[in-house]
């Protein structure tokens, strides 16, 4: 039986209004054949996790440029665990200083993409690291 | 009448009157070879259409500039956008910038302040003091401008949904310094339409948002006459990915919507239009950018004169601030960004900007450090004092290329404005997602062009090197949030809570009716009602906006 299509939830946590990156990546995911759910702006970690669970997402891609990544990305990771959904692969991108990345990875964010990354690189990473959840 | 005759009339009239009030920087301007730089070069032959299309600086259609002497009188205002952490830290950065030769302030607020949340709100988690300074109440604003005489500086505030509240706080701080509101000058961004379209810090739906804006126009024309009540912004539209043409078109279409709304609210066009200002982006394509600024000026002059029947020439002048393009800065080899910023700043100056922010080399990585901000400011100073481009007005006029691009940008942008008119105007078009879709398509095409190497970004997809991760970036301390919450709790404990309640009640009643909101916001602010409390009143009465997501 062929594998079903990957479902990706693209989220904008916090108050950050910069959605150019989120929308470009959403479109690149769609063009790569994934099913894409985009949350829109101003989402709390709770809203993002709830949406991911309800929509049966295989992974969550968070875009953040506001500097609140050290608070908001781990909060999403924690909530996924609390709701027994830690198998949803969590990753993100944005203006995130190199120094912060080890801490984020330790908190359960599988990968962090910084400015200048091509959409092809990100799409390939998803293909290599995310499988449809059972 | 020949161009030379017209030029003499301009020199003896418009220029002479201006120079009598404000002399030029030098008696005469000369090159290194002792060639005189004329104030404004013009064709020495008859050129059909010259007068209608270009005219003279300070005169309709303002293609060549809004002031008669431009930078020969005074350079553009060098205004670096800054603010982070607590009010005290930002206050120190402002004093540093003023001392380094900056001539105006530009305040960056953190996202909770921009979105109407206090620092202790759940939505503010992790965001306090990050992208700008945190302001919860008048107490923070008093610290922010401590020791800065508000009648001596002009202050630009990047604030939109909550602009009325921050303006009220600024007026209140000035009053405490003994300065009445007719003496203060500055700008609030106050441009909600581009928030729905590109920048994202909207709170209420369009209709009540437009009412708040027209209330500000009406209040300021009497009470704060030197204040620029709006900065209609293409900057963020461009940052979101638009082309130069789309930037001009969508910005001017927003301008049309504000003028329409104010006229519908009963204001006379010439009462408020002279206080409208604009804000544009400056990208790398130097000549296209110069043409863009010139086209925008001519278009706005025509729109105000022909569409809105303005009589006062000041209503027709497109005065604008420029910021170099944050989205062109690269995280790779960040020092290359200094060159990008130089080209972009040059475009703004050749295009006749009134004020300029130059971005710092490290902005693709973090908030800029003090060293980076100094280089950015020095870039402007080198352009102003050393390059000579400020010695003659609109120096690229008459270039076949620049005039052709100016005409073509104007035409393409007017075509877009017609489309938007046909959709029912900017507000309606935004609610249908028209501009958003156009912007996203451009952004996606740009990204693809980089990835397919059709577009070379030096240091990103060509001329790359292995480099160590950047060091010495600015870090905003996480303690800001804790500090800010404590300070807020103290304010709430010390203030007269009955008075706060009464002013908020009055504000709620006004919001439900049609009276001008500004005096009541000012009363609430003076009673130390917080930004979040005031925004909550409006959220309750006006509701919250939901975006139209188009992918």
CATH of the domain at A35: 3.40.50.280
List pLDDT tens digits, range B444-464.
999 999 999 999 999 999 999
Judged by a CB distance cut-off of 8 A, whether residue A50 touches chain B is no
Residue B101 — very low, low, confident or very high, per pLDDT cuts 50/70/90?
confident
Torsion angle of alpha carbons B163, B167, B173, B178, nearest 10°? 170
> Chain A partners of B361 at a C-beta cutoff of 8 Å?
none
Domain-located, residue A67? yes
Helix H, strand E, coil C: the string for B439-454 is HHHHHHHHHHHHHCCC
Residue B100 is predicted with a pLDDT of 85
Judged by a CB distance cut-off of 8 A, whether residue B112 touches chain A is yes
Whether the pLDDT of residue B341 is over 90: the answer is yes
Report which of residues B40 and A3 the model is more confident about: B40
A110 Cβ contact list (under 8 Å, min separation 6): A89, A90, A91, A129
Mean pLDDT score, B298-318: 98
Q: Are A77 and A108 in contact (CB under 8 A)?
A: yes
Q: Range(s) for CATH 3.20.20.240 in chain B?
A: 75-431
Residue B414 is predicted with a pLDDT of 98
Report which of residues B476 and B382 the model is more confident about: B382
Whether the pLDDT of residue B301 is over 80: the answer is yes
User: Which structural domain, as residue segments, surrounds residue A61?
Assistant: 7-129
For an interface test with B, the pick among A12, A17, A21, A71 (most B C-beta atoms closer than 10 Å) comes out as A17
Q: Do B127 and A27 touch (CB under 8 A)?
A: no
- Cα gap B174→B182, rounded to integer Å: 10
Q: What mean pLDDT is reported for chain B?
A: 96
ipTM: 0.92
Q: Are B278 and B319 in contact (CB under 8 A)?
A: yes
φ, ψ of residue A95 in degrees (nearest 5): -80, 90
- Cα gap B367→B105, rounded to integer Å: 17
Q: Are B162 and B531 in contact (CB under 8 A)?
A: yes
Smallest Cα distance from A20 to chain B, Å: 5
- Cα gap B85→B83, rounded to integer Å: 7
- Cα gap B127→B142, rounded to integer Å: 22
Q: Which two tokens stand for residue A71?
A: 């608070």
**Would you call B169 helix, strand, or coil by DSSP?**
helix
Cα dist. A119→A24, A58, A123 in Å?
A: 8, 19, 6
Q: Do B478 and A14 touch (CB under 8 A)?
A: no
Smallest Cα distance from B237 to chain A, Å: 10
Smallest Cα distance from A23 to chain B, Å: 7
Mean pLDDT score, B14-26: 97
Residue A2 is predicted with a pLDDT of 59
Whether the pLDDT of residue B383 is over 80: the answer is yes
Residue A36 is predicted with a pLDDT of 97
> Chain B partners of A118 at a C-beta cutoff of 8 Å?
450-451
**Would you call B404 helix, strand, or coil by DSSP?**
helix
φ, ψ of residue B288 in degrees (nearest 5): -65, -40
Residue A3 is predicted with a pLDDT of 74
Q: Do B366 and A95 touch (CB under 8 A)?
A: yes
Number of domains in chain A: 1
Q: Are B3 and B50 in contact (CB under 8 A)?
A: yes
Mean pLDDT score, B294-306: 98
Whether the pLDDT of residue B382 is over 80: the answer is yes
B167 Cβ contact list (under 8 Å, min separation 6): B157, B188, B216, B224, B227, B518
Which B residues, 424 through 453, put their C-beta within 8 Å of a C-beta on chain A?
440, 443-444, 447, 450-451
B430 Cβ contact list (under 8 Å, min separation 6): B193, B196, B197, B206, B436, B548
**Would you call A37 helix, strand, or coil by DSSP?**
strand
Mean pLDDT score, B428-437: 96
DSSP string, B95-130: HHHHHTT--SEEEEB-HHHHHT--TTSGGGTTTTTS
Q: Do B451 and A119 touch (CB under 8 A)?
A: yes
Domain-located, residue A1? no
Q: Which two tokens stand for residue B402?
A: 């620049």
Whether the pLDDT of residue B168 is over 60: the answer is yes
Which A residues, 94 through 113, put their C-beta within 8 Å of a C-beta on chain B?
95, 97-99
Tally the C-alpha atoms within 13 A of residue B43's C-alpha that lie toward its C-beta. 15
Q: Do B125 and A17 touch (CB under 8 A)?
A: no
Residue B146 is predicted with a pLDDT of 97
Q: Do B195 and A17 touch (CB under 8 A)?
A: yes
B75-431: CATH topology is TIM Barrel (3.20.20)
Q: Which two tokens stand for residue B344?
A: 């972009």
Cα dist. B181→B140, B221, B276 in Å?
A: 19, 11, 18
**Would you call B534 helix, strand, or coil by DSSP?**
helix
Which B residues, 250 through 279, put their C-beta within 8 Å of a C-beta on chain A?
none
Which residues of chain A carry a pLDDT beneath 70? 1-2
For an interface test with A, the pick among B125, B197, B334, B480 (most A C-beta atoms closer than 10 Å) comes out as B125
Residue count (chain B): 551
Task: Name which of A42, A116, A118 is nearest B331 (Cβ-Cβ).
Answer: A116
Q: Do B473 and A99 touch (CB under 8 A)?
A: yes
- Cα gap B4→A72, rounded to integer Å: 65
- Cα gap B466→B373, rounded to integer Å: 26
Q: Do B240 and A99 touch (CB under 8 A)?
A: no
Q: Do A116 and B332 touch (CB under 8 A)?
A: yes
DSSP string, B270-299: HHHGGGEEEEEEE-S-HHHHHHHHHHHHHH
**Would you call B329 helix, strand, or coil by DSSP?**
coil
Domain-located, residue A2? no
Judged by a CB distance cut-off of 8 A, whether residue A24 touches chain B is yes
Residue of B nearest to A70 (CA): B126
List pLDDT tens digits, range B132-164.
999 999 999 999 999 999 999 999 999 999 999
Sheet of B230-233: strand order equals B77-78, B355-357, B320-324, B276-282, B230-233
**Would you call A60 helix, strand, or coil by DSSP?**
strand
List pLDDT tens digits, range B55-74.
999 999 999 999 999 999 99
φ, ψ of residue B279 in degrees (nearest 5): -140, 115
Residue among A50, A48, A56 at smallest CA distance from A109: A48
The rounded percent of chain B whose pLDDT value lies above 90 is 91
The rounded percent of chain B whose pLDDT value lies above 70 is 100
Judged by a CB distance cut-off of 8 A, whether residue A117 touches chain B is no
Bridge partner residues of A89 (DSSP): A59
B506 Cβ contact list (under 8 Å, min separation 6): B520, B523, B524
A58 Cβ contact list (under 8 Å, min separation 6): A6, A7, A8, A88, A89, A130, A131, A132, A133
**Which pairs with CB-CB distance under 8 Å and at least 24 residues apart come from B11-19?**
B11/B39, B14/B56, B14/B58, B14/B59, B14/B68, B15/B39, B15/B58, B15/B68, B15/B69, B17/B68, B18/B58, B18/B67, B18/B68, B18/B69, B18/B73, B19/B68, B19/B69, B19/B73
Whether the pLDDT of residue B513 is over 90: the answer is yes
Residue of B nearest to A115 (CA): B331
- Cα gap A10→B335, rounded to integer Å: 32
Residue among B500, B497, B525 at smallest CA distance from B135: B525
């Amino acid at each position: 039986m062929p594998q079903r299509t990957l479902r990706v939830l693209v989220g904008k946590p916090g108050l950050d209004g910069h959605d150019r990156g989120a929308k470009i990546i959403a479109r690149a995911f769609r063009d790569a054949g994934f099913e894409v759910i985009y949350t829109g702006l101003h989402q709390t970690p709770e809203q993002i996790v709830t949406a991911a669970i309800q929509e049966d997402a295989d992974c969550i891609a968070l875009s953040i440029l506001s500097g609140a990544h050290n608070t908001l990305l781990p909060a999403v990771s924690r909530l996924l665990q609390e709701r027994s959904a830690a198998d949803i692969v969590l990753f993100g991108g944005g203006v995130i200083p190199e120094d912060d990345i080890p801490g984020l990875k330790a908190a359960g964010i599988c990968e962090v993409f910084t400015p200048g990354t091509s959409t092809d690189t990100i799409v390939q990473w998803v293909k290599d690291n995310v499988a449809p959840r059972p | 009448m020949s161009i030379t005759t017209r030029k003499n009339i301009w020199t003896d009239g418009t220029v002479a009157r201006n120079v009598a009030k404000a002399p030029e920087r030098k008696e005469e301007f000369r090159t290194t070879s002792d060639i005189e730089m004329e104030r404004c070069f013009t064709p020495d032959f008859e050129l059909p259409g010259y007068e209608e299309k270009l005219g003279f600086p300070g005169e309709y259609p303002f293609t060549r500039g809004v002031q008669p002497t431009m930078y020969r009188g005074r350079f553009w205002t060098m205004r670096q956008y800054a603010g982070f952490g607590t009010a005290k830290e930002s206050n120190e950065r402002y004093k540093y910038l003023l001392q380094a030769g900056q001539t105006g302030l530009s305040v960056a607020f953190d996202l909770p302040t921009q979105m109407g949340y206090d620092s202790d709100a759940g939505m503010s988690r992790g965001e306090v003091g990050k992208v700008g300074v945190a302001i919860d109440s008048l107490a923070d604003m008093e610290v922010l401008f401590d020791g800065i005489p508000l009648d001596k500086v002009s202050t630009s505030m990047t604030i939109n949904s909550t602009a009325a509240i921050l303006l009220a706080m600024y007026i209140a701080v000035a009053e405490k310094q003994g300065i009445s509101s007719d003496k203060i000058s500055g700008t609030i961004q106050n441009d909600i339409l581009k928030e729905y379209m590109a920048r994202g810090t909207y709170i209420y739906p369009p209709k009540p948002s437009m009412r708040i804006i027209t209330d500000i126009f009406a209040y300021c024309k009497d009470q704060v006459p030197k204040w620029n009540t709006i900065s209609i912004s293409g900057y963020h539209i461009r940052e979101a990915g638009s082309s130069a043409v789309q930037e001009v078109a969508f910005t001017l279409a927003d301008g049309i919507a504000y003028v329409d709304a104010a006229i519908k609210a009963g204001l006379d066009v010439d009462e408020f239009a002279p206080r409208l200002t604009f804000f544009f982006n400056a990208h790398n394509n130097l000549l296209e950018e110069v043409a863009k600024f010139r086209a925008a000026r001519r278009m706005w002059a025509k729109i105000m004169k022909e569409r809105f029947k303005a009589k006062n020439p000041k209503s027709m002048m497109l005065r604008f601030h420029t910021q170099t393009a944050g989205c062109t800065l690269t995280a790779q080899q960040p020092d290359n960004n200094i060159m990008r910023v130089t080209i972009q700043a040059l475009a703004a100056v050749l295009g006749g900007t009134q004020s300029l922010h130059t971005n710092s080399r490290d902005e693709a990585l973090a908030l800029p450090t003090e060293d980076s901000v100094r280089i950015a400011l020095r870039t402007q100073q080198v352009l102003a004092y050393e390059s000579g481009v400020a010695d003659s007005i609109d120096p690229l006029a008459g270039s076949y290329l620049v005039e052709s691009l100016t005409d073509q940008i104007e035409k393409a942008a007017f075509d877009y404005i017609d489309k938007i008119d046909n959709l029912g105007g900017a507000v309606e078009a935004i609610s249908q997602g028209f501009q958003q879709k156009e912007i996203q398509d451009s952004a996606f095409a740009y990204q693809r062009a980089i990835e397919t190497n059709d577009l070379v970004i030096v240091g990103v997809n060509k001329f790359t090197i292995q480099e160590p991760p950047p060091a010495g970036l600015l870090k905003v301390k996480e303690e800001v949030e804790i500090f800010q919450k404590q300070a807020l709790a103290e304010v709430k404990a010390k203030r007269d809570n009955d008075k706060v309640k009464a002013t908020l009640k009055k504000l709620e009643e006004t919001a439900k009716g049609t009276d001008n909101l500004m005096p009541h916001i000012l009363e609430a602010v003076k009673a130390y009602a917080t930004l979040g409390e005031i925004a909550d009143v409006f959220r309750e009465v006006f509701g919250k906006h939901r975006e139209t997501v188009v992918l």
